Structure 1
Amino acid sequence: MTARDNATAANGTAAYVVALDVGGTGIKAALVGADHSLLHQARRPTGREAGPDAVVGTVLAFAEELWEAGVDRYGVPPAAVGVAVPGIVDEAEGTAVYSANLGWRDVPLRELLAKRLDAPATPIALGHDVRTGGLAEGRIGAGAGVDRFLFVALGTGIAGAIGIDGRVEPGAHGGAGEIGHVTVRPGGPECGCGRRGCLELFASAAAVGRAWAAACGRPGATAADAAAAVEAGDPRAAAVWREAVDALAEGLVTALTLLDPRVLIVGGGLAEAGGTLLGPLREAVRARVTFQQLPTIVPAALGDAAGCLGAGLLAWDLLSAEV
């Protein structure tokens, strides 16, 4: 079966969608088939240094580029569009409410996309980036077939996705899963959210990188550098790593107590350390649980394709809801 067969139904209607994963520094985009195959992929910088209006323009132009690529390749326009963005998202209204990284406030992204694509009747889904990645991991990745899961992304910050029967819970106000702002060190340093001692100040990839840079005296050192030093037996790195793992375990046990997931999926940049992270993390969580049932703790399976695949799932779900 050819790519065209995969992307065009027997009656000539589209069997593919446009998916975009908008990040703080880069945008990943794809044409996604009904079988979740990535039929075409592309990337470009977000360009946030040019300001929020320029970022919106970049997103719209990139979506249009993928739309036209699909029409050129398959002869029919996509069946739907899915977009994942950071920050607070009103999925029902299709509005990017707020993003500190991108400087967005109340961007009517669904409306703007429909106008730019000249596609008022095309379903357009908007979702939160981590919840969207978690949707993909839970449905077709590391949590496939699991009824209850928690996906935690350890990147510049920390956020999570609460999975229930193949879907991700957005919360009443679009803020479900923000585990990075659980307090794990009362009286600790102030977080950007205004509270003190938040988890992401200690266990995000960015936090580990900062702590290791301070410990080793190398400005610009990263979490990956810290992991390599741990593996090499550096005691300074071991201390930095232990502090991060202990903080992460504290936050995760709070989440386990509230949510009781069957599987805990760990993704994001820090998770690229593999067993260097997951081994001690499993032990630290096990040491802290009392009455709670210990979930299976596994690494994410989809890598940086999770966001695009999840955005594609959001788009296909919109189509399913219309049937």
Structure 2
Amino acid sequence: MKAALVGADGALLHEARRPTGRERGAAAVVQSIVDFAADLRAHGEAHFGEPAAAAGVAVPGIVDAERGVAVYAANLGWTDVPLRDLLGARLGGVPVALGHDVRTGGLAEGRVGAGKDSRRFLFVPLGTGIAGAIGIDGVIEPGAHGSAGEIGHIVVRPGGPPCGCGQRGCLERLASASAVTAAWAEASGDPAADAADCAKAVRSGDPRATEVWQHAVDALADGLLTALTLLDPDTLIIGGGLAEAGDTLFTPLRAAVADRVVRFQTLPAIVPAALGDAAGCLGAGLLAWDLLTPEGARTDTSSTPIDTPSAADGSTTPRR
């Protein structure tokens, strides 16, 4: 878990991390989050002279933000956890916002990160899995049922490897960091090898690594082409662990997407995420600040001065 006290301008005033402790069971994870938030609130009182004005929490899985319920998270064993109410009770009744981890990270990238000058963007973190956040005019689109942006489950290779969602050939089974790790471990014969090792081998000219890497880039380009055909974004923001490969990823990816764009389409900018693993905390903090402003998510928090120590809690748990 990552947590922070976040200022009104998006500044991280204090950061902390703790293990989720999911091996102790679903109820213990919930208790860990509630305790963590309470400790963060106490830190704000002790060091800034007042408690946080609101709290935001970002969690993986299916989230009902309107009801404040973590509906389902397979890796945490959650079903219908009323997280907003539990946190609000522990934090003395301050307003609490609940969000999806990737969409919350996309909110931060859109407000204060790589998408702050974009009217329409798609944020795609490449980690254990692949998800997406659709940003339009500073607001993240949740969809009618809270699952907009799930680009990782676009089928890019029909009949390909099975996915946990029940389909075969999903994008995240071919282009996520975990997919590259598995493919490179097999190709290299080293079960301990991971995606970062594959990127290093690509840079050294290893043909086996180059083949593994290009297969992932081609699958990702196919998935992104579907997304830009439907959404027509001006910017594609790529984050997550795989994006840490820098030009080793972005140079072939930009070329692959450009090769696939047809005459009626406009090639968007493809840029790395700017906030790294702080995006979730910042986004959770922004969700909290939105509770305190008359216009909510449409308020430009990037221009709000930070003259006082009041802050918002933000905590996230790892995706999948």
Aligned partners of 1:151, 1:280: CA distance in 2, in Å?
A: 19
1:16 equivalent in structure 2: none
2:273 equivalent in structure 1: 300
**Which residue of the other structure, out of 138, 146, 150, is the alignment partner of 1:166?**
138
1:10 equivalent in structure 2: none
**Which residue of the other structure, out of 62, 83, 88, is the alignment partner of 1:114?**
88
Aligned partners of 1:76, 1:43: CA distance in 2, in Å?
A: 22
Aligned partners of 2:43, 2:154: CA distance in 1, in Å?
A: 43
What is the CA-CA distance between 1:322 and the residue it aligns to? 7.2
Q: Output the TM-score relative to the length of structure 1.
A: 0.90
1:217 equivalent in structure 2: 189
The Cα offsets for residues 168-199 of structure 1, whole Å up to 9 and x where unpaired, read as 00111110110000000001121001111100
Aligned pair 1:40/2:18, yes or no?
no
Q: 1:309 to 1:66 in 2, by over 3 A?
A: same
Structure 2 unmatched runs, 5+: 297-320
**Which residue of the other structure, out of 95, 101, 106, is the alignment partner of 1:123?**
95
**Which residue of the other structure, out of 98, 106, 114, is the alignment partner of 2:72?**
98
1:272 equivalent in structure 2: 244
2:30 equivalent in structure 1: 56
1:9 equivalent in structure 2: none
Q: 1:294 to 1:322 in 2, by over 3 A?
A: closer
Aligned pair 1:144/2:116, yes or no?
yes
The Cα offsets for residues 261-312 of structure 1, whole Å up to 9 and x where unpaired, read as 0000000000000000000000000111112111000000111111101111
Q: Which amino acid in 1 is paired with 2:231?
A: L
2:308 equivalent in structure 1: none
Q: Which amino acid in 1 is paired with 2:40?
A: L
Q: Which amino acid in 1 is paired with 2:285?
A: G
Q: Which amino acid in 2 is paired with 1:192?
A: G
1:320 equivalent in structure 2: 293
Aligned partners of 1:306, 1:131: CA distance in 2, in Å?
A: 10
Aligned partners of 2:213, 2:253: CA distance in 1, in Å?
A: 10
Counting only pairs closer than 5 Å after superposition, residues 221-300 of structure 1 correspond to structure 2 as 221-290=193-262, 291-300=264-273
What is the SS of the residue equivalent to 1:149? strand
What is the CA-CA distance between 1:113 and the residue it aligns to? 0.6
Q: Which amino acid in 2 is paired with 1:191?
A: C
Q: Which amino acid in 1 is paired with 2:83?
A: L
2:304 equivalent in structure 1: none
1:310 equivalent in structure 2: 283
What is the SS of the residue equivalent to 1:106? strand
What is the SS of the residue equivalent to 2:10? coil
Aligned partners of 1:78, 1:58: CA distance in 2, in Å?
A: 19
What is the CA-CA distance between 1:220 and the residue it aligns to? 2.2
- How high is the sequence identity, in percent, across the aligned residues? 71
Aligned partners of 1:48, 1:139: CA distance in 2, in Å?
A: 31
What is the CA-CA distance between 1:75 and the residue it aligns to? 2.1
What is the CA-CA distance between 1:318 and the residue it aligns to? 1.2
Structure 1 unmatched runs, 5+: 1-26
The Cα offsets for residues 197-232 of structure 1, whole Å up to 9 and x where unpaired, read as 100000000000000000001112111000000001
1:192 equivalent in structure 2: 164
Aligned partners of 2:55, 2:286: CA distance in 1, in Å?
A: 10
2:42 equivalent in structure 1: 68
Q: Which amino acid in 1 is paired with 2:168?
A: R
Q: Which amino acid in 2 is paired with 1:165?
A: D
2:128 equivalent in structure 1: 156
Q: Which amino acid in 2 is paired with 1:48?
A: R
What is the CA-CA distance between 1:112 and the residue it aligns to? 0.7
What is the SS of the residue equivalent to 1:151? strand
Counting only pairs closer than 5 Å after superposition, residues 13-32 of structure 1 correspond to structure 2 as 27-32=1-6
Aligned length, in residue pairs: 295
Q: Which amino acid in 1 is paired with 2:63?
A: V
Q: Which amino acid in 1 is paired with 2:188?
A: C
What is the SS of the residue equivalent to 1:184? coil
Aligned partners of 2:291, 2:119: CA distance in 1, in Å?
A: 21
